[in-house]
Amino acid sequence: MDDPLLELQDTLYASRNPTRRWLHHERRRWIEAALRRHAVGRSAIEIGPGSGVYLPLLCDLFEEVVAADVENAFLARARELAAERPNLRVERDDITDSRLGTFDLVLCTEVLEHVPDPLAALRGLRRLLAPGGTLVLSTPQRHSTLELLGRVAFRPGVLQLVRLVYREPILPTGHISLMTERALRDGFAAAGLEIVASEKTGLYLPLVAEAGGERARGASARLATRIRGTRLDALLWTQLYELRASDAH
């Protein structure tokens, strides 16, 4: 039987709930496009590959790929993939104190929010960048509707109700270091990272998402498009960035 963490991640992209499925596919769509745009070097590393969603594409785009994590379940999944991909190497590594050298592309998606010291993680990501390299990064927005409601949904008792509604794996997020856009951009500057491109994706509408099916997903997508770039875009779930090393560092 799969580890609960792997079971959860495997479910996200095939969720019965159209909004839940869309939220994760929107992020994946943007990240995969960014990876293809920046596949110009030989080496890539993914920090925190989770269930390995992006590893096959990275292996197709780069000659040498490293998957680095600290979770046993995720390392085991990456090793399964490495058995079929000779250009994939798996390493146990802590991003705040990495010893893995430098890479042409660094991918770090949905990791910062799990790290006690996200600023130390950003500095570690900066050290992994080879000259001219690109960092592709995503993390939830602190005040997004999904994160705000999650603080209620994952309380004891309420979590059981949420599982009954979705009828699929639901676990506490472990999001201990959620950041606003401003805080994250300040962190980039402090770590010596410069933004090349950015976007925000995904809008969760409480109760509507659970009861509205495909219509709710469509309404969420349309509303997300309308508020993107306005003051209300802090409600969107995910902030995504392409970054490079700043000349100032």
Query: Taking residues 41-64, what's their average pLDDT?
Result: 97
* CA separation for the pair 140, 156 (Å, rounded): 23
For residue 104, the domain's CATH number is: 3.40.50.150
Query: Taking residues 125-147, what's their average pLDDT?
Result: 96
Is residue 1 pLDDT above 50, yes or no? no
Is residue 159 pLDDT above 60, yes or no? no
The string of pLDDT tens digits covering residues 183-208 is 999 999 999 999 999 999 999 998 88
Query: Taking residues 170-176, what's their average pLDDT?
Result: 75
Domain with 13, as residue range(s), is 4-245
**Residues in the chain, overall count:** 249
Q: Which of 176, 199, 157 shows the shortest CA–CA distance to 34?
A: 199
* CA separation for the pair 190, 194 (Å, rounded): 10
Candidate from 52-56, 66-70, 166-170, 242-246 with smallest mean pLDDT: 166-170
Task: Identify any residues that bridge with 135 across adjacent strands, giving them in sequence order.
Answer: 106, 243
The string of pLDDT tens digits covering residues 75-122 is 999 999 999 999 999 999 999 988 899 999 999 999 999 999 999 999
pLDDT for the residue 52: 95
- Token couple for 114: 């799990």
52 or 2, which is more confident = 52
Percentages helix, strand, coil for the chain, rounded to the nearest 5?
45, 20, 30
Q: Tally the domains of the chain.
A: 1
Tokens 């962190």 -> residue? 187
* Amino acid of residue 31: I
pLDDT for the residue 225: 97
